[in-house]
Amino acid sequence: MFIIQSYTTAILFCIITMLCWGSWANTQKLASKTWRFELFYWDYVIGILLFSIVSALTLGSFGNEGRSFIDDLKQASLSNIGSALLGGVIFNAANILFSAAIAIAGMSVAFPVAIGLALVLGVLINYFAAQKGDPVMLFIGVGLVMVAILLNAAAYKKKNVGEQKVSGKGIVLSLIAGLLMSFFYRFIAGSMDLDNFVSPVVGKMTPYTAVFVFSVGIFLSNFIFNTILIKKPFIGEPTSYTAYFNGNFKTHLTGIAGGLIWGLGNSFNLIAAGKAGPAISYGLGQGATLIAALWGVYVWKEFKNAPKGTNTLVTAMFFFFVIGLALLVYSGS
């Protein structure tokens, strides 16, 4: 299987993760013009599962190093399979709430609040589970990211005077999603032998196998979580599976593309975790907030016609995000 051999390559993979995790929601924005996000989300989950299968049967099976996907899956212990599955269930619960927050509050709000919170808590959880990297630089970087999140919240509040009811629901959903999302990565990482991808401990899984099991957890739990949401949505009228199957090919393909993009980022992040460490790998990946904010501000124009001073807050947010993420990279070098 393909294994990263250097810290530099690991950081490159984390940057790709950042781009993928910060960009997939554009497919939801595109689909939302004619498609409910609850229906979009099924295609998104299918895209994640499809990518995990393709990745496992290609990068996870070719080459002379490490266990191939099928052999690795056969020897994995039930406890480690269960850990990765649970990670998928937790992620799915968090991501459905997060997708709802995007539909209500927009990318430039949902990403900084939900993913920003997930970044801060997730880095702490993953660092104390597997201490790798300079803790001083790591936590200063996380602190600067937290400042960026607060600046974004201030900019959003300034922009949305008179819309507190809608924005309040979006922010609450974002906070709950961020809290849940901070835990899912630990369960996947715990199912792998992060110290040795070449000859993993018996019972532990390679990142390719762990990603596949994790994706199965997302897919299976979606029959419960998303069915509930289809019948009792956060906004709008209930929809149905009949409406899903009546969707056209292009609409379904948009959602699947979103899942493929997120799945690519997730796979690259876990492949990088062996060299960078889970805290740094996860933290950089969740720098997706910065990418999403750029999309929201400059492409989707979510701060268009905002009051004077809002752009200053947004610019300061970007500055603190960039410096904070740079310190995360430095902490592992």
pLDDT interval class at 133 (50, 70, 90): confident
Q: Does residue 295 lie in a domain region?
A: no
Q: How confident is the model at residue 166 (pLDDT cuts 50, 70, 90)?
A: very low
Which of the residue ranges 1-10, 40-49, 107-116, 180-189 would you say has the lowest mean pLDDT?
A: 107-116
- In contact, 284 and 17? CB cutoff 8 Å: yes
Residues 6+ apart with CB under 8 A from 68: 1, 60, 61
The band of 107, judged by pLDDT with boundaries at 50, 70 and 90, is: low
Q: How far apart are CA 233 and CA 95, in angstroms?
A: 15
Give the contacts of 223 (CB within 8 A, at least 6 positions apart): none
Closest CA to 325 of 151, 137, 178, 179: 137
**Is 328 a domain residue?**
no
CA 180 to chain centre: 12
Q: Is the pLDDT of residue 165 over 70?
A: no
- For residue range 281-324, list pLDDT tens digits in order: 998 988 887 888 788 788 888 777 788 888 899 899 899 989 99
Nearest to 126 by CA among 324, 331, 278: 278
What region does 251 belong to: left with phi over 0, alpha with psi -120 to 50, or beta?
alpha
Element containing residue 71 per DSSP (H, E): helix 69-75
Residue 112 pLDDT class (50, 70, 90 cuts): confident
Give Cα separations from 101 to 113, 114, 160, 170, 188 (angstroms).
Answer: 10, 9, 15, 5, 25
Locate 268 and state its tokens.
């690259």
Mean pLDDT computed over every residue of the chain: 90
The answer to whether the CB of 32 falls within 8 A of the CB of 40 is yes
Give the pLDDT confidence score for residue 146 in this predicted structure. 83
**Of 112 and 225, more confident:** 225
In a domain, 70, yes or no: yes
pLDDT for res 161: 64
Q: How confident is the model at residue 162 (pLDDT cuts 50, 70, 90)?
A: low
Q: What is the pLDDT of residues 189-248, one digit of tens each?
A: 999 999 999 999 999 999 999 999 999 999 999 999 999 999 999 888 999 999 999 999
Residue 225 lies in a domain: yes
- Residue 163 has a pLDDT of 52
Structure tokens at 20: 């993928």
Q: Tell me how many domains the chain contains.
A: 1
- What residue numbers bound the domain in which 233 lies? 7-127+164-288
With left for phi above 0 and alpha for psi between -120 and 50, is residue 4 left, alpha or beta? beta
Domain assignment present for 333: no
Between 79-88, 213-222, 261-270, 302-311, the lowest mean confidence (pLDDT) is in: 302-311
Rounded average pLDDT over 47-52: 98
Instruction: Identify which of 187, 185, 189, 121 has the alpha carbon closest to the alpha carbon of residue 149.
Output: 121
For residue 43, what are the CA distances in angstroms to 124, 193, 219? 32, 31, 10
Average pLDDT over residues 267-290: 90
Q: Is residue 239 part of a domain?
A: yes
CA-angle at 318, arms to 41 and 311, nearest 5°: 95
Q: Which bin fits 73, alpha (ψ -120 to 50), beta or left (φ > 0)?
A: alpha
Between residues 169 and 69, which one has the greater pLDDT?
A: 69
Q: Domain for residue 102, yes or no?
A: yes
Q: Is 151 exposed, middle or buried (0-12, 13-18, 19+ CB in 10 A)?
A: buried
Count the neighbouring beta carbons within 10 Å of the beta carbon of residue 301. 11
Q: Read out DSSP for 301-328?
A: -TTTTPPTTHHHHHHHHHHHHHHHHHHH
Mean pLDDT of 166-194: 89
Q: What per-residue confidence (pLDDT) applies to 250? A: 93
Q: What is the DSSP letter of 192?
A: B
pLDDT of 256 reads 97
In a domain, 314, yes or no: no
Distance CA 162, CA 23 (A): 29
pLDDT over 70 at 167, yes or no: no
pTM, 2 dp: 0.89
Q: Under 8 Å CB-to-CB from 248, ≥6 apart: which residues?
A: none
Q: Report the C-alpha gap between 132 and 212 in whole angstroms.
A: 25
